[in-house]
Amino acid sequence: MNMRSVVYTAVFFCVTALVPAAAFAAMPTFTLSIKDHKFDPTELHVPAGQKIKLMVKNLDKTPEEFESHEMKREKVIPGGTTGTVYIGPLDAGTYKFFGDFHQATAQGKIIAK
């Protein structure tokens, strides 16, 4: 292998390694809080057709589970911590979510437009 081939190969691997990182950096990020066993906001507007990063901050002392059957996501967020949930890309529409441990009060929806 000549030096030119080595350089081209090295450049190729460097560029392809950066593409996923760049795509992650461009991902829209949204924040959802849990306080007194309720989500805030209860309605979150996100772009349709694009993967999003949802940061779920549990401000309560007890754990809560972010769950959505429609989005096929569930994640337990221990009390006093923040969890990350990757969602989508979603078609335009409304997607319900709830807190599995406090279903009576922890309700919300994501609206993709």
How does pLDDT run across 8-50, given as a tens digit for each residue?
Answer: 555 555 555 555 555 555 899 999 999 999 999 999 999 999 9
| 3-state secondary structure at position 42 | coil
Side chain identity at residue 47, one-letter code:
P
State mean pLDDT over 40-62.
Answer: 97
pTM: 0.77
Rounded Cα–Cα distance for residues 85 and 73 (Å): 8
pLDDT > 90 fraction of the chain, expressed in percent and rounded: 77
Written as six digits, the tokens of 20 are 């996923």
Of residues 52, 45, 54, the one with CA closest to residue 92:
45
- Edge-to-edge strand order for the sheet containing 82-87? 38-40, 29-35, 52-58, 82-87
